[in-house]
Each structure stands twice: as C-alpha cells, then as structure tokens.
Structure 1
C-alpha cells in the first residue's frame, strides 16, 4: 500500500505540472479561438530569460541569489508581457476572422521565431534555475506504514505553486470585471464587441496571462530538469491533457492533468513489466485517442451542435 501511495502521489504531482502547461492552451483558446501551438516555446523562452537573468544580475549588480531570482522573475515577466503585446499587434490583429488552420500556422511560426530569438539572446547551453526548492526527499506517515512513504519535497512545492496559480486564475476569471469580459469574449466575439468590449485589448490580456503561466511552468520545469531546448516539447506532453479535459475548460485542464499524471505512473509501475516498459511515454496519447473517438469534446468541453 505504501508503494502504491508513493506512485499515486508522484503521479498527482506530475499531473499538476502538466495541467499548468495545458492551462496556457485553454486560456488562449477560450478567449480567441486560437490553438496556441507556441505555448511550449513560450515556456522555453520564459525559462531561458529567468535562468540567464538570475546569472547576470549578481554579476552586474552584486546582488544575492534571492534578489537575483526576484529580479529575474520580474524581468522575465516583463519580457513575456512585451512578447504577448507584439504577438497581438503584429500577428493576431491581422488574422481576425481567418480560418483556424491559418491561425494554427501563425502560432507555428511564432514557435520557431521564439526558439530562434531565445537561442540568439540567451544561448543554447543547458542552464540551471535555482529558486531554493529542496531536492531531498522525506519520509511521511511512518507511524501508519512501515518505513513510511517517500515524498519528494520539490514535487510538493511545485504542485503547491501550480495549484495556487490555478486558484488565482479561477478567482480572476470569476470575480473581476476583466475576467468576466474574457468569458464574454470566449462565448461570442461579435456579441462582446457589440456591447463595447475591446477585443484586441482582451486578446493582449489573455496572451499576457498565458505568458505568466508559461513563466511559472518554465521556472518549475527548469528547476527540476534544467533549462534546455528540449523543454519546448513539454507542450506535447500537455496536448493529451487538453484533449482529455476539453479545450475550453480550466477545471478540465486540471482534472485532465491529474488523470494523465496518475495514469502514467501507475501504468508504468504495474503494467510496464508485462509489456517491456515504456508505457509512460505513450499512455497519455493512447488515452487521448480513445477520447477523440468517443468524446472528442473532452470531459468538460462544450459539445458543438450544427443545425442546418
């Protein structure tokens, strides 16, 4: 039982990080109808900025590691805000009411542009982000289970940060005037414009929010795995989460991430020995394929009914 709980907890922690990346897809799709294939590149770009400025600030100004991390986070956040504004101003504004395939290709172009600019500005080595999260595991519930349950402190802190961000975004969408405007735009662009909601400003805001989500995701993944260009592929791990939860549902992104995180870990541990291992690599995509066949809108997605 203790080993099962260890695997379950590890899956939940990984699932929260998947949900954090998937949240960027959901936010942008809800507000603009654009499937943002550049979300992985945004995570990479933000992580590169965070890692490099946390190195440069002590060298330039002689500040300590805490101030360096705070300053690097603020600068990286400002860079993501600027990137969001430029994406809306230079790309999306000129593609309003275009076909979905056109918008998807635009986000693919943004992906390669961000990766290229990131390599030019920040280099292409493997960098570290040290935000002080403890790496050593701890044993919990030793009085309940013999030997206790091994839990990684870093995973717990990372999951708590992700959960706090998700909770904050949920409150933002539900309780603020801007959040209500975002939901109105998500429901009907033309109706929102007809009552005076500025569509372009809303798109800038939602891309800025997605940039902050990418920054937090990049900071956590960079702390765990190091910042390297393969980090951009983390978006591919989040795609099944979006399919499972639904492209328009924030709770769906969270639940989908948890289901896939737990499913990957449990299947690898308990089914892997019978098929030679490697289930963790493809489990999420097979599950997403099943959902595409039987419930393509996902668990919480809106079912589209066309009437003629």
Structure 2
C-alpha cells in the first residue's frame, strides 16, 4: 500500500509541474483565444537567460530579476511587432504566427547563448524525505509548493483586480471590451509578460530536473492533454488536469507498463485526452461553445 501511495504522490507532484507549464497557455488563450505554440520556446529562452547569467557569476536574485525583465521586454516586442499588426485576423492566422515565433525565439537563443547543455542547481537537493512513513522527493515537494504559491497569486490577481476583470471582458467579447475603453494592446502586453514570468519559473524547475537544453521546450507537449482535460480557459482546470495526468501516468507506468511490455507514460496522457474529447470536448472546466443560428 505504501508503494502505491508513494507512486501516487510522486505522480501528483509531477502533475503540478506539468500544470505550471499549462498555465502559460491558459493565460494567453484567455486573452486572445489563441493557442500559443511559442510557450515552449519562451520557457527554454527564459531558462537559458537565467543559467547564462549565473554562469557568469551573477547571484540568484539579480539573475532572476534580469531574466524576468528580459521576458517582459520580449512580451512588449511580441505585442508590437507580431500581435498588433495581426489584431483583426482570425485565430488560425495568430496560431501560425506563434508557430513561426517559436522558431524565431529558439533561433535567437541559439545565436545568443549557444547550444551547450547547462546544469542548473537551484539549491534544492533531490533526496528522499520520510513523511509519515512515505518517502517523497524533497525537490518535488519544493517545486510543488512553488507551483501552488504561483497559482494562488495568479488566481487572486485575475479574479480580484481590475486587470483581471479586464482580461475576462476581453476573453468574453473582444469588440465589446474595446468599446468600453479597454485597450487590447495593453492587455496583451500584460498577459504575455505574465506568461513569460510563468515560463521562467517553469523553465527553472524543469531545467533543474532535466538540465537546460533545447529538448526542454518539448516538455510543453505534455501541456496539450492537460489543457484538453482541464479546459483551455481555466487556471483551476490546468491544475486539476495536471494532477490527473501526473497521477494516471505514474500509476499506469507501474501497473500497466508490465502488461504491455514497456513504458506507457510517453503516450498514456494522450489516450486519456482523446477519451475526454469523446465525452467532454470542452474539458472539465472549459467553456462550452454555444452557437446561435
């Protein structure tokens, strides 16, 4: 029984880290209705900026602050050069723009910071802790705590502040929001900046786990089933979807893997997402599309 609980808890911790990646997608989708394919490249770029600064001798706090400012500056540039000219285009055009943007960001990262693999030490040891007779990873415990704090802050900001109300107005009806004086470019800059900061935190946690390398951007692919399960427009949905994916993957690898003769974690989440698409296409917390004829 203890082995089952340890596997389940480890899967839930991994799910929270997955959810942290998915939140970046949710923020931009809520503001523009566009799936930001460049989120993975932003995560990679943020982690590379941080680790490059620390390797040059900069302490953690200044390196984090400069990395955060870099992501905010990137958001301003993206809004001005990419989003503003395409403001009245359809969602497919904006999606293709973010697809091209992902290659531009990765190319810029390679040009400026090289292609070497960087080890990242956040000062959190990955050792087992005995908690009530169960062994859990200290790193997973700390990373999950950071994710929960960040989610709590974002939830308060987007539900209790004027900016959060403006974001919900833009998500519900862009033209109506603009008609009452909400400036769409400003909202986009803020949302992309916040998504960049989320990408920075997620990039540091995943970079400490896997190393800061170009395959790090592929971790965002696991956000797809999370968004399908939880809903593309819900932060709580991203959290719940991440927990479902993390726990089901961990348990399936242990109990289903031996039956099929190999690891099932690379594809099990996508099978789960397809099942949700058949039963509830909008996800657990997603908004159901209502079309009027």
Give the TM-score band, short-chain normalised.
Answer: over 0.9
Alignment equivalent of 1:265, drawn from 238, 250, 258? 250
Answer yes or no: is the 8 Å Cα contact 1:243–1:291 preserved in 2.
Answer: yes
Aligned length: 293
Deviations 1:206-236 (A, max 9, x none): 0000000000000100111110000010110
- In structure 2, the partner of 1:29 is 29
Alignment of 1:198-217 (within 5 A): 198-217=183-202
CA contact (8 A) 1:57 1:72 kept: no
Please list, as runs of the form range in 1=range in 2, the aligned pairs for 1:83-94 lying within 5 A after superposition: 83-94=74-85
Aligned to 2:8: 8
SS across alignment from 1:57: coil
Structure 2 partner of 1:109: 100
Q: Using the alignment, how far apart are the partners of 1:302 and 1:97 within structure 2?
A: 23
RMSD of aligned alpha carbons: 0.9
TM-score, structure 2 normalization: 0.98
2:113 paired with 1:122: yes
TM, length-normalised to structure 1? 0.93
1:92-138, CA deviations, whole angstroms, 9 ceiling, x for partnerless residues?
10111212221111001110001000011111111122121122212
5 Å matches for 1:1-308?
1-58=1-58, 68-141=59-132, 148-308=133-293
After superposing the two structures, state which structure 1 stretch, 225-234 or 122-131, moved more. 122-131
Q: Return the offset for 1:69.
A: 1.1
Residue 150 of structure 1 aligns to a residue whose secondary structure is strand
* Contact 1:50–1:129 under 8 Å retained in 2: no
Q: 1:294, CA displacement in angstroms?
A: 2.2
Distance apart, 1:140 and its partner CA: 2.1
1:138 and 1:292 mapped to 2: Cα distance? 38
Q: Distance in 1 between matches of 2:252 and 2:194?
A: 34
SS at structure 1 position matched to 2:122: coil
CA distance in 2, matches of 1:268, 1:277: 8
* Secondary structure of the corresponding residue to residue 56 of structure 2: helix
CA distance in 2 between counterparts of 1:200 and 1:190 reads: 13
Shift of 1:277: 2.1
How far apart, in 2, do the equivalents of 1:101 and 1:202 lie? 20
Instruction: Flag structure 2 segments of 5+ consecutive residues without an equivalent.
Output: none
